[in-house]
Structure 1
Amino acid sequence: MTRPQAEAWVPIDDRGLAYGDGVFETVLVRDGMPLLWPQHMQRLAEGCRRLGIPMPASGTLDMLPAQTGPGLKVLKLIVTRGGGGRGYQTPAAPEPRLLWQAADFTPQPRRWWDGVRVRHCRLQLGMQPLLAGIKHLNRLENVMARREWDDADVAEGLLCDSQGQLVEATSMNLFWLRQGRLETPQLNACGVAGTLRAALMEALPIQEVATGPQALNDAEAVWLGNSVQGLWPVARLDDADGNPLRQWLLGDAHRGLQGEAHALLGYPTASAD
């Protein structure tokens, strides 16, 4: 039986600690009510299915958001395979471990209103279709990519896969408007299929495309988004050395998609200048 632990000592044989053998979710919770909860639970279930980890009972998971208390919080859920097995061999009957933590959260509204500066990363994501889309615990590629810059003016870094195709930012999904079409990278080989991305794709005609970073040169608007931070319009794009490649003036197009996203999260939207 999986028992949730808010504060836990994780034993050294836990497979999530040793091998990244598990999945996680980060959920925005407003006064005890989780946002995009069905999408988070769907992705968690898919991650558990692909890894062969028993999914915690829905009743166990559903009771956790109410325990975060009043105000705006981020609820982090971690499901590992637990202990056991021999080396990489998994145990025949895993006993998964469910860990959770809630933390106060304050969004960054200036990034909503003024837009953000982003850059390309040198690191390329490895391609593994079996793990594509799910939020597994092995995020070393993202950690290494985030180490590429320490300039506080740069909000995020964009990642391509080993074939040079756009995938995502280090912790956010990527969207753009090109020739009147809303587009987002295909995530068939790597990357995380975000829950805000999923909700927006259910509501809007956003096309998944396989393309290199040159697509952003032709974009009328670019955004980064996730289910915690909301949607950040991109005002400036740099190369991996910090040289500017493209700048955008924020307008109606930026605010339109932002409004759709923020309505899902209870965040405000700036009016276009």
Structure 2
Amino acid sequence: MNARIFVGDTRFDAIAANDRGVAYGDGLFETMRAHRGDVPWWDAHWARLRSGAERLQIELPQASMVRREAVDLLAGDDAILKLIVTRGSGGRGYAPDMDAPATWIVSKHPLPPDSPDSGIAVRWCETRLSVQPRLAGIKHCNRLEQVLARAEWNDPTAIEPYAVEGLMRSAEGDVVCATAANLFVLREGRWLTPPVDRCGVAGICRAWVMGATGAAERRLDVTEVETADAVFLCNAVRGILPVAKLGGRAWPLHPQVVALRDRLAEAHPGFAA
């Protein structure tokens, strides 16, 4: 079995029917790229998980136990590791049981296919992200907005069926991210990325890129993205994804993006060619 389920320190065969993660999305998750059975960015992922748990007032399981189970499950492989932590079971209704032990699940998944070196095509999504500062930045389990956005181009008759990712705006119209990645644009010689103080996820790879490039946070509109000198997406599973096409705009592979991908491969061996 490629998943292990625990409530507190006790292993179970299934998730409880009244688990609040299932009922309400009351939980958090991390999706990590493992290299040879270990997770190079484990500490960063756990720090974000801990920050989210503090925000939601969920008591995390012991970090040492989670990592031990994760490494055992990975069995030395290159893979994707997913960790879900929910508030656990708490009866019917929205009021949480603050004393319930958390449910946590580690699961192992195949690596995604490699993206073309020349870059990917993206499109604009019609689905907007709600503005909710209390949930902004954390990776909570309710991702229905992203699900709806990603479903927009499952139809082969869609306007842009070639797109492999979609860019999302907030309900107020500013550009925030892709459905499953953060966004960076190069303008006037400087890298910029949208802030995640009102919606969006503070990505682990995003944090690395900001440190590596000195990128600044700035609210961006559609025109500023479409007229940028270079655009890329990033996340902790696929690394840096250069954007080659967005609507009628096409970008050649920018040398700064090539250099940044090389630096990422040095920082995380899972992204080495």
Pair in the same fold by TM > 0.5 = yes
Q: Counterpart of 1:181?
A: 190
Secondary structure, aligned partner of 1:64: helix
Change (3 A) 1:8 1:173: farther
Shift in Å at residue 4 of structure 1?
6.9
Shift in Å at residue 114 of structure 1?
1.6
1:96 and 2:107 correspond: no
Note if contact 2:174-2:222 (Cα within 8 Å) is conserved in structure 1: yes
Higher strand share: 1
Note if contact 1:77-1:98 (Cα within 8 Å) is conserved in structure 2: yes
Equivalent in 232, 238, 260 of residue 257 of structure 1? 260
Q: Counterpart of 1:56?
A: 61
Shift in Å at residue 254 of structure 1?
2.2
Equivalent in 111, 132, 139 of residue 135 of structure 1? 139
1:13 and 2:13 correspond: no
Shift in Å at residue 268 of structure 1?
3.4
Shift in Å at residue 106 of structure 1?
4.3
1:22 and 2:22 correspond: no
In structure 2, what residue type is equivalent to 1:253?
Q
Shift in Å at residue 263 of structure 1?
2.7
Secondary structure, aligned partner of 2:66: helix
Note if contact 2:115-2:241 (Cα within 8 Å) is conserved in structure 1: no
Q: Counterpart of 2:40?
A: 35
Q: Counterpart of 1:204?
A: 213
Q: Distance in 2 between matches of 1:92 and 1:166?
A: 36
In structure 1, what residue type is equivalent to 2:238?
Q
Shift in Å at residue 202 of structure 1?
2.6
Q: Distance in 2 between matches of 1:23 and 1:131?
A: 11
Aligned length: 260
Structure 2 stretches lacking a partner, 5+ long:
1-6
Shift in Å at residue 230 of structure 1?
1.1
Q: Distance in 2 between matches of 1:4 and 1:161?
A: 40
Equivalent in 78, 81, 103 of residue 75 of structure 1? 81
Q: Counterpart of 2:4?
A: none
Identity, in percent, stands at 38
Residue deviations 1:2-52, cap 9 Å, x none? Answer: 1375x7411210000000000000111111110211110111001111111
Residue deviations 1:192-229, cap 9 Å, x none? Answer: 11111112223330101112121113311100111111
Note if contact 1:126-1:190 (Cα within 8 Å) is conserved in structure 2: yes
In structure 2, what residue type is equivalent to 1:21?
D
Structure 1 stretches lacking a partner, 5+ long:
239-243
In structure 2, what residue type is equivalent to 1:91?
D
Note if contact 1:117-1:234 (Cα within 8 Å) is conserved in structure 2: yes
Which contiguous aligned blocks of 4+ residues in structure 1 show a shift greater than 4 angstroms? none
So what's the TM-score if we normalise by structure 1? 0.90
Q: Counterpart of 1:65?
A: 70
So what's the TM-score if we normalise by structure 2? 0.90
